[in-house]
Amino acid sequence: MAGELIGNILTLIVLAGLGAAGVLAVILWKKNRASRVSFLRFVIQAVGLAALFFLFALEPAIPLLYILIAWFAATLFLGRFFCGWICPFAFIMDVESVVRRALKIRHRLLPEKLNVALHKGRYLILAAFLLLPIALWVVDPPPNTASAVMMGQLLAGPFRPYSIIIDPLIPPVVPWTGQLILGDINLSYPYVGDIVTFIEATPGQILALAFVAVTLIGAFFIRRVWCRFCPAGASIASLNQFKAFKGVPLLYIDKDEEKCTKCGVCKRVCPAQVNEVYEQKGGKINTSQCMLCARCVEMCPYKDALKIKLANKTVFESRNWLEPSIESEERKIE
Amino acid sequence: MSKEKTVERRYLPEISQKEMAELKNTVKTASQKIIADNIERMKKADPHRPEAMKYFDDIANLFGRRQQEIQAEKERGKKVIGYMCLFAPTELILAADAIPVRVNSGWYDTSKVGDRVVPVEVCPVIRSTIGAKMIELSPFLEQSDALISVLTCDGMTKLGEILSDQTTVWGMNVPRVKDSNQSLRFWSDEIKHMKAQIESLTGNKITRKSLKEAIANSHRATKAFRRLQDLRKANPVILGRDAMLVNQAYSWDDQKRWTEKTEALCAELEVRVQQKDWVCSPDTPRIMLTGTPMFWPDNWKLPALVEEGSPSGVIVADEQCSGERILNDPVGVDEWSMDDMLNAISERYLMASTCPCFTSKDGNEDRINWLLNKVKESNVQGVIYYVIRGCMLYAMEYSRVKKALDKINIPVYYLDTEYTREDVGQLKTRVEAFLELLNARVDF
Amino acid sequence: MITVGMDLGTQRVKAVVLKDGTVVGRAQAFAGFDPAKVAEQAVNDALSAANLSLKDVNHFTATGSAMDIAPHANSTVSMMGADAKAGVFLIPQARTIIDVGAEEARAVKCDDRGLMTEFVVNERCAAGAGAFIEAMARALEVKLEDMGTLALQAERASPINASCVIFGESDVVSLIHRQESKPEIARAVFDAMADRVSAMVHRLGINPVVVLSGGVAKDPGFIASLNRKLDLTVTVPEYPDYVGALGAALIAATRAKGASK
């Protein structure tokens, strides 16, 4: 009992330390913006990954449901900031991109129409999974015992509908969700646990392996491929697209039309192939496709043309972008 | 009678060697005088001219140092590729270890020679370039092993064709609708094709590494350029003409040296900012030029009038493809793979351009936005819209520009002129009246 | 306070002497080959008309295309600036001043203080200026002064092209060959010219009241044509050809006041 408590306290200390590290990274970057925001994002992602690891390792583990609620509440105000800056699954994909870039392999683009279709289709996927337990209940009514209990079982049981939203939080390093056994190594991977539980035995294993292979290889060639239709991303941020919720997001990209020459850099560098930043005439960029990763703001060569604003205060703006980046590139050339 | 050799030409008229030599001689003498004169006037207008401008004065002599340098490089086996529009991807030329030079000509006298080939209604930039070719005046045009002719306006389209009588000319087809995917695809193909052509002419393969270096060097130049532009945004420390000359010199100077010298100029100017050593009174009306490109040396008449008139103004910004547009936009590379670099180059040259030859969903809105932004950033008090006879595109865009500038209450004056030196008197009254108008606005 | 305004135009040199806000003397002369000398003469004439001499003058201001060679000038002002100043001085409601001189037509928009806010100049073409009428009068063998009254007798308009004086003349010749009557041709000349001037004014935009000044404003034929083209009635001050010089004199007065302060 005491040992467990000490363990938990230690975990909390590490967690706090990680949080502090993240804050420190932001402060350091704020002081010297010459360092690129992409590097900062990488640091935050790594810190976030470690923090989640400890969060899950905490005994008793914080139920995923609470994280889900907190996450939803945050997306309402921060948009998909979580996806861009913390999500461990996205981090894996970003790491893959870095490897690909190091290997000088070009990235592929999804056809624009498919990209938009996936973006819209994810709501359907989400709805289907959420409704599945209810559908099952209707098709195959449970015995006349307390139906509420049965419903609870369906929702929280082996097939947890909410896990479709929460699962991208499960990066391979979170140990105890591991259902995918390769040789002796117990791996974990988003959705694999569900697939294996739901479809038993070999087919499940094969399907799980296939899923892992497709997403990993896909993400290698197509930047952030999963994010295009990630059901987790189909979050409440999408609500902000409705007029009544327009004022709600506090964190957003702001575009100054006059400063823009429509050079197209923002469109090309976007890892999620978001067109709105390029196409929209100016003002608040309104799309739940955008993960606020700030790559476009970082690469925009016109001062103040793009800004990331938090509650109407500019936190990051495009500069004469050549300033820092070219110097760092210079070192690489010479 | 001495033997006179003539060359057969499709467009250019037969012109005897003797006549050519005579014409070349007179025009060259006249233009050397004009160059010297312009520089002299610039020195006079700013008695305390930055030291670093000496270098640019030297480079501004089109028949001087730079010509010899290029000649020496050519003898060492380097190729020279001339271009007539800013759309030519200079990064590719540099990456193939060739020398890019802009060959548009700004001589009045050669435009008169060009009248023998094309009617006087044609834009003088075209006539002058044709004339320069006819009498082999322009050193850079003569040194070019190939010319990149970008089919932007009608004049440029046919100019390439006419010049192809004597030189290899590569046409580059520009899509006129800028903001569509198919345009970009088309233009990307043109860029790739141009890459192949440059490679085959120079015999040097454009590698990922060489292209990356060329892009990085261009970035450095853009950085120096932006530093200079930023210095012009506050109280004036440099005459507009000087800055315009610096910008334009880039199109024939050695890139690395230009960057160094411009940085040196900026360093000198930054000291002046600290010492509050203004080149003219800070309440001098701040003028922006836009419209038809002003090529050195004969087009310097208008900037000279603005900055030497009574009352006088100071040019703090321009939107011209002979000025700020040369270097304003960097190639924004995301990933340093060959593919992405080429993509970035195509986008930079097509989409970032504010040339009036384009239209889009909103018309040429980018240009309007650029103008409005410049006006605000540089605290411009008046805009001179400069159009030379025959320049349709700029003339036709005037009404929209005027409306946009009216909205933010910035006076704009439409100035119609030619390459001639004779209309200076008329221009003077107009420019001075406009400056008077601006002064009156400030007084009240 | 006594100030003098000189307008060194392309054809005539005009001088106005202003004493405390009222015109006390005016004179003009043909510019000829030595405008500086002629200007001297005009100034002396104007001053002697007012019984004054050069010594009494507080400030000289010159305007017009040859303003830089004006004798005695303390300062210069652009023609548009002078037009605006004088236009509003003469007709306080004036907001647009059209000045049609011998070789140039101008239009100026101004505010209630007589400060120009915008202007246009006809671009290097005499077809919109007085020289056009002169050339056409020659072709019609009519005295320049009679062109206007002649045009007013016309019953209908016959169109000619006013893109250029030379081609305009050939158009007139073809009208003569078609045996059109002189009044009609004269009206066609004024119509063509008014066409060009009104196109220029429309480019600028019209703020009423519109004042017409310059030498051509003395011609009733042109006024009638311009009124038709602009679809309004332009106001013509009493001495339209002196408007530029008057504006210069008025500006000289403000400048002298500013200097004495």
For B426, the closest of C76, C80, C124 (CB atoms) is C124
Please, do chains C and A touch (3+ CB pairs < 8 Å)? no
| Residues on C contacting B at a C-beta cutoff of 8 Å | 65, 76-81, 113, 115-121, 123-124
Q: How distant, in Å, are the alpha carbons of B139, C15, C40 from that of C54?
A: 58, 13, 10
Q: Do C78 and B414 touch (CB under 8 A)?
A: no
Are both C101 and C219 inside the same structural domain? yes
The DSSP secondary-structure symbol of C58 reads S
d(CA B198, CA B170): 10
Helix (H) or strand (E) holding B267: helix B255-275
Measured between beta carbons, the chain C residues lying within 8 angstroms of B441 are 115, 117
Q: What CATH number has the domain bearing residue C30? A: 3.30.420.40
Pairing relationship of beta strands C116-121 and C75-76 according to DSSP bridges: unpaired
SS3 of residue C108 by DSSP: strand
CA–CA min distance B285, chain C (Å): 15
In a domain, A80, yes or no: yes
CB B432 within 8 A of CB B311: yes
Residues 262-281 of A with CB under 8 A from B: 262-265, 268-269
C121 contacts B437? CB cut-off 8 A? no
Q: Which residues of A touch B338 (CB under 8 A)?
A: 106
Q: Which two tokens mark C187?
A: 């009206």
Residue with tokens 């017009």: C64
Among chain C residues, CA nearest to B398? C203
Residue type, B202: T
Is the Cβ pair B351, A262 closer than 8 Å? yes
Count CB neighbours of C85 within 10 A.
30
| Single-letter amino acid code for the residue at B318 | D
**Number of compact structural domains in chain C:** 2
Number of separate domains in chain A: 2
Contact B369 A101 (CB under 8 A): no
Helix orientation angle between B124-134 and B154-163, rounded to the nearest 10 degrees = 10
Distance from CA of A330 to the nearest CA of B (A): 7
State whether residue A290 sits within 8 Å of chain B by CB.
no
**C81–B433 C-beta distance less than 8 A:** yes
Amino acid A24: pLDDT? 79
- Provide the residue-wise pLDDT of chain A in tens; the chain has 334 residues: 566 777 777 777 877 887 787 787 777 777 666 567 888 888 888 888 777 777 766 655 566 667 767 777 777 778 788 888 888 888 888 888 888 888 888 888 888 888 888 887 877 877 776 776 677 667 666 555 555 555 555 555 445 566 666 677 766 555 444 455 555 555 667 777 666 666 666 777 777 778 888 888 888 999 988 888 777 776 655 666 666 666 677 888 899 988 888 888 888 889 988 888 888 888 888 777 888 888 888 888 888 899 988 888 888 888 776 654 444 444 444 3
Q: In the β-sheet with B146-151, what is the strand arrangement from edge to edge?
A: B99-102, B80-83, B146-151, B168-173
* Cα angle A290-A293-A296, degrees, rounded to a multiple of 5: 85
Measure B428 CA to nearest chain C CA, in Å: 9
CA distance B136 to chain C (A): 32
Cβ separation C123–B416 shorter than 8 A: yes
- Looking at every residue in chain B, the average pLDDT score rounds to 90
* Nearest residue to B345 (alpha-carbon basis) of B176, B197, B184: B184
In this prediction, residue C57 carries a pLDDT of: 84
Contact across the interface for B411 and C118, Cβ inside 8 Å: yes
A108 CB near a chain B CB, below 8 Å? Answer: no
Q: Judge contact between B401 and B290, C-beta under 8 A.
A: yes
Instruction: Please say which residue of A90, A108, A129 terminates a domain.
Output: A90
Nearest chain C residue to B435 by CA distance is C78
Inter-chain residue contact B226 with A320, CB threshold 8 Å = yes
Q: Please report residues of B whose CB lies closer than 8 A to that of A306.
A: none
**How far is residue B278 CA from its own chain's centroid?**
27
Three-state DSSP at B423 gives coil
From the centroid of its chain, how far is CA A81? 8
- By C-alpha distance, the chain B residue nearest A296 is B334
Q: Report residues of chain B scoring pLDDT below 50.
A: 1-7, 444
Q: Which domain holds residue A255?
A: 250-333
ipTM: 0.84
In a domain, A47, yes or no: yes
Residues C120, C97: one domain? Answer: yes
* Structural domain containing residue C100: 92-236
Interface residue of C61, C115, C257 to substitute, partner B, most B CBs within 10 Å: C115
Angle between helices B208-233 and B338-350 (to 10 degrees): 40
Q: Do C82 and C99 sit in the same domain of this protein?
A: no
Using CB atoms, pick whichever of C78, C123, C124 lies closest to residue B433. C78
CB contact under 8 A, A329 and B184: no
Instruction: Name the token pair of A56.
Output: 């899950």
Residue in B184, B259, B335, B364 to test binding to A, most A beta-carbons within 10 Å: B335
Which of helix, strand or coil describes residue B297? strand
Beta strand pairing status for B314-319 and B286-291?
Answer: parallel
Whole-number Å distance between alpha carbons of C50 and C65: 26
Q: Do the domain assignments include residue A324?
A: yes
Bridge partners, C60 (sequence order): C4
Amino acid at A3: G
Q: Are C32 and C156 part of one and the same domain?
A: no
Q: Tell me the C-alpha distance between C207 and C200, whole Å.
A: 14
Q: What per-residue confidence (pLDDT) applies to B99?
A: 95
The answer to whether B157 touches B172, Cβ cutoff 8 Å, is: no
- At A334 the pLDDT is 38
Measured distance CA(B215)–CA(B341) in Å, rounded: 9
Task: Check residue A86 and report its DSSP letter.
Answer: T
For a pLDDT cut of 70, what percent of chain B falls above it? 98
> What tokens appear for A321 in the block?
């972008």
Selected for mutation to probe chain A from B351, B365, B367 (highest A CB count within 10 Å) is B351
Determine the distance in angstroms separating the CA of B429 from the nearest CA of chain C, rounded to an integer.
6
d(CA B378, CA A320): 16
> B interface toward C at CB cutoff 8 Å?
310, 411, 413-414, 416, 423, 425-426, 429-430, 432-434, 436-437, 440-441, 444
Q: Could you tell me which residue, C123 or C74, shows the higher pLDDT?
A: C74
Q: Where are the domains of chain B?
A: 19-443
Name residues whose C-beta falls within 8 Å of residue C194's C-beta, 6 or more positions apart in sequence: C222, C225, C226, C228, C229, C230
In chain A, which among 43-102 make CB contacts under 8 A with chain B?
101
pLDDT digits (tens, 9 = 90+) for B172-192: 999 998 888 899 999 999 999
- Contact check, Cβ <8 Å, B437/C113: no
Residues of B whose CB is below 8 A from A330: 216
C98 and C214, same structural domain?
yes
* Domain identity same for C243 and C115: no
C144 lies in the same domain as C81: no
The CATH number given to whatever domain includes residue A285 is 3.30.70
Same domain, C105 and C184: yes
Token pair belonging to A8: 């938990």
Nearest CB among A101, A112, A258 relative to B335 is that of A101
Determine the pLDDT at residue C102: 82
* Alpha-carbon torsion angle B21, B25, B26, B31, nearest 10: 130
Residues C8 and C66: their CA atoms lie apart, in Å, by 5
Tokens linked to B226: 């932006």
Q: What is the pLDDT of residue C38?
A: 87
Residue A100 in domain: no
Chains that touch C (3 or more CB pairs under 8 A): B
Q: Which amino acid is at C195?
A: D
Instruction: Give the chain A residue nearest B227 (alpha carbons).
Output: A320
| Neighboring chain A residues of B184 at a CB cutoff of 8 Å | 264
Q: Higher-confidence residue: C41 or B244?
A: B244
Listed in sequence order, the residues at least 6 apart from A24 whose beta carbon sits closer than 8 Å to its beta carbon are none
Closest to C81 in 3D by CA, of C64, C103, C59, C104: C64
Q: Which of B416, B432, B441 faces C78 most closely, judged by CB atoms?
A: B432
Take residue A284 and report the two structure tokens written for it. Answer: 């608040």
Give helix B255-275 / helix B240-249 axis angle, nearest 10°: 160
Clarify whether residues C16 and C59 are in a common domain: yes
Q: What is the pLDDT of residues C203-229, one digit of tens each?
A: 888 888 899 998 888 888 889 989 988
**Do A268 and B334 count as a contact with CB atoms less than 8 A apart?**
yes
Q: Which residue of B has its CA nearest to C64?
A: B429
How far apart are the C-alpha atoms of B106 and B129, rounded to whole Å?
8
The answer to pTM > 0.80 is yes
Helix, strand and coil percent figures for chain C, each rounded to 5: 50, 20, 30
Nearest CA in chain C to B387: C123
Q: pLDDT by residue (tens digit) across A151-202?
A: 555 555 445 566 666 677 766 555 444 455 555 555 667 777 666 666 666 7
CA–CA min distance B334, chain A (Å)? 6
Cβ B190 vs Cβ A290: under 8 Å: no
Residue A3 has what pLDDT? 66
The three-point CA angle B395-B393-C195 to 5° equals 35
d(CA B136, CA C221): 55
